Structure formats: structure tokens, C-alpha cells
A and B are shown apart, each in its own frame.
Chain A
Amino acid sequence: MSCSEKYVAYMHEYLDEEISTEHEKELKEHLLKCPECQKHFQELEKSLALVKSIAHVTTSDDFTLNVMNRLPKEKKKVGFQRWLRHHPLLTAASLFLVLMVGSLFSSWNTGHNLSVSKQPNLIVKNDTVIVPEGEVVKGDVVVRNGSLRIDGQIDGNVTVINGTVINGEKYLASAGDVTGEIEEINVIFEWVWYHLKNMAKEAINFFEESEQSQGVTAFLW
């Protein structure tokens, strides 16, 4: 090339859009009288136009899906929490079945042992729990696999599982006999439901708080 590198440098300044007005003027004047530099400049512009012409390709339609499938698996805890929030009752049911099915149904079928909440003034006779006349039992009373006879008073709720509430006058205690609610649970469904209601509430906290849930969640998945 016979011309100085100066004008080629100006050309690149121009292409970078960083040329000063002085250099630009100088370059234009030179290009008008120097065919060689003019050719050089045109070749530069042509090659860049060609390169730009092949832009704008698009990738395949399933690209995003393929990426998502190749991502390392999300932490179980997070995935489970999202699922849990969307299906709290179902979650509790699954959890219940997994954790409780063995012990619950075996105890339902075979466990006829009477059990009762621990209040000192309750009397147990055969499979009946008695609230003696004149006594006031403080706190909630829970009787399992047995009946509850209320001769005195209960200051709390009553839950009888697989049994009945026997009251001197009527099934429902009159005011003063039981201050809280009376609930009888006598079929498996109700028994399950009773636990589910509690577990639905507890499960969310349990899984959100506990790192130890990993094993359980993985199992549930």
C-alpha cells in the first residue's frame, strides 16, 4: 500500500464510530482523491455488511425444555415446599399414610387396650372411664377404646375414640357437666380425619422448618 497507515487507522476510527470531526473530514477528502484507499474502505464496508447479513439465526423450539431437563435437580426441600403449598391436604394425607398407616391400623384392629388422659380424679372400671359424682376434672379428657361416664364435671373438651359417652341423663352433657365440646370418633374414617386435620396444620411447619425432612420428602416424591 502506497498510502500511509494513517488513513487506514482513520477508517477504523470511523468504523468504531469514534472518529473526530477533523479526522473524518481529512479521511473524506483523501478518499475522494485516492482510489486505492477508496477501494480499501469499500472492501472493509462490504465485508462487514456480509458478516452482518448472516445474523439472526434461531435455535430449536425445544431448546428451553432441553436446558431445563439438563439442570441439576432442584433441592428436594424447595420442590416439596412448593408442592406442599399447592396441596396441603393431599400432603397431609400422603404423609399420614406413609408415617402412620402401619402403627395406626394395627392399633385400630388389635389394640383394644383402654387408654385415657391423665387426670388424678378419673376412675377406670373395666372399659369405662368414670368422672365421679361431685368431682371436677380439669383439662381435656381423651378416652380411647373405652367409654366415658360423666357423673361429675369436666372442665374442658371431651374426645372419645372407639367408645361412647355415657351420661346419666342424656348423651349430650348439660351445661356444667362439660364446659367444652364433646366429640366421639367411632369409625376409621373419622379417626383418620381427626389426625389429618392436625397433621395438615403441623406438616407445613414441620417441613419448612426441619432439614431432617429430606429423607421423608425424597421418599414421598
Chain B
Amino acid sequence: MDAIVKKRIKQVLKGDQNAYAEIVEIYKDKVFQLCFRMLGNRHEAEDMAQEAFIRAYVNIASFNIDLKFSTWLYRIATNLCIDRIRKKKPDFYLDAEVSGTDGLTMYSQVPSDSALPEEEVESIELHETIQREIAKLPEKYRSVIVLKYIEELSLNEISKILDMPLGTVKTRIHRGREALRHQLRNV
């Protein structure tokens, strides 16, 4: 896959805009998921994820082709989300969750042939609870937790994405885990 991505990037660098569509296809769900778990709002996450891809396109000439494209892309997306979080009022998440439709539209996509309706509703409620608790984490813990446990990235990759020392990443993950333990132990 890396080879395909590199090939497409070279085409984009030559000015072939259409080649970028395949890159977006490959990474769209990962980037969207990252934004969604960081921001807690589907609509906003979709907008942020699009913005991340546009920024990556505009700045693609500054991307070092020998590095991993996903690391660079995730860094752009994470920084956009962190900026957005910092500009927001602290009570935004609670407001967003009260309206509650984001969760429904999203979890209606989960395959449910075998699940009973009540179980489905329960699982939706559980997912909303988990999302809400993640959103309560301070941004510096939230980003490492999302990258590690939602995006399933290694500590090394997270350290590159966030451009911070491995030791700092570890400390934040430990604190993030302890915070989640407190928040989720009675769920």
C-alpha cells in the first residue's frame, strides 16, 4: 500500500490532481475516526477530516517522500483537532451530546442482524457513554489515547505524529489510562 501511496503522491506532485482521490480513499476512515474521537461530533469531525486532506494536498510539496505518509497526515489532522478543541468553550461536548443524534446516525451502520433491538439500544448508549468519557479527557491525554487505542498506533509513531519525545508520550498515556480508569470503572 505504501508503494501505491508513494506513486500517487508523485503523480500529485506532477500536478495530476485526480491521483489524490485514491489517497483520500485509502485514509479517509482512519482520519475521520481520529477526528471524530477527538472532537466527539460527527459533523464537525467530517469537516475537520476534509480540512486535513486539503491541507495535506496544499502542502504536499513539503512532504518528505521517504517518510510515512500516514504519520504526516495524522499529524495534520491531530493538530487541526487540537486547535479546534482549544478554541472551543469547555461545555461544548455536553451540549453536543444532549442533542444526541450523532451517535444514532453512526451506530445505525453497525451490522445488527443478530442483535436484538434492546441490545442494540444498549450498545448505542454504551458507545455514547464511552465517547463522552473520552471527550472529558484533557486534550493532551485524549490525543495520545485516541491514537493508541482507537487508531492502534505504536508509541513510536505517536511520538512522531505529535512531535514529542517518546517519554512524554508514555507519561501522557499512563495518565490518560488512569483518568479513563476512574471515569469508566462503573460503566
Contact = CB atoms under 8 A, between A and B. Distances in A.
Interface of A: 12, 15-16, 40, 43-44, 46-48, 50-60, 63-64, 66-68, 70-72, 74-75, 77-79, 82
Contact of B33 (A46, A56, A64): A56
Nearest to B106: A57
Interface string B146-187: 000111100100000000000000100110011011011101
Contacts of B21: 64, 67-68
Contacts of A57: 29, 32-33, 36, 106, 109
Contact of A16 (B151, B155, B180): B155
B184 A71 contact: no
Size bracket of the B interface: 35 or more
B32 A48 contact: no
Nearest to B22: A64
Contacts, number: 107
B71 interface: no
A178 to B, nearest CB: 48
28 contacts: A12-B170, A12-B174, A12-B177, A43-B181, A44-B177, A46-B185, A48-B149, A48-B180, A50-B130, A53-B126, A54-B127, A54-B130, A54-B131, A55-B149, A57-B106, A58-B29, A60-B46, A63-B32, A63-B46, A64-B24, A67-B24, A67-B28, A67-B50, A71-B20, A71-B57, A77-B15, A78-B15, A78-B17
Interface in B21-41: 21, 24-25, 28-29, 32-33, 36-37
* B contacts with A: majority SS: helix
A217 to B, nearest CB: 13
Given A59-B46, A67-B53, A70-B50, A16 B173 contact: yes
Contacts of A66: 50
B16 A64 contact: no
Given A50-B184, A51-B180, A75-B15, A70 B54 contact: yes
A12 B146 CA distance: 17
B180 A58 contact: no
Contacts of B57: 71-72
Contacts of B37: 54
B145 interface: yes
A47 B46 contact: no
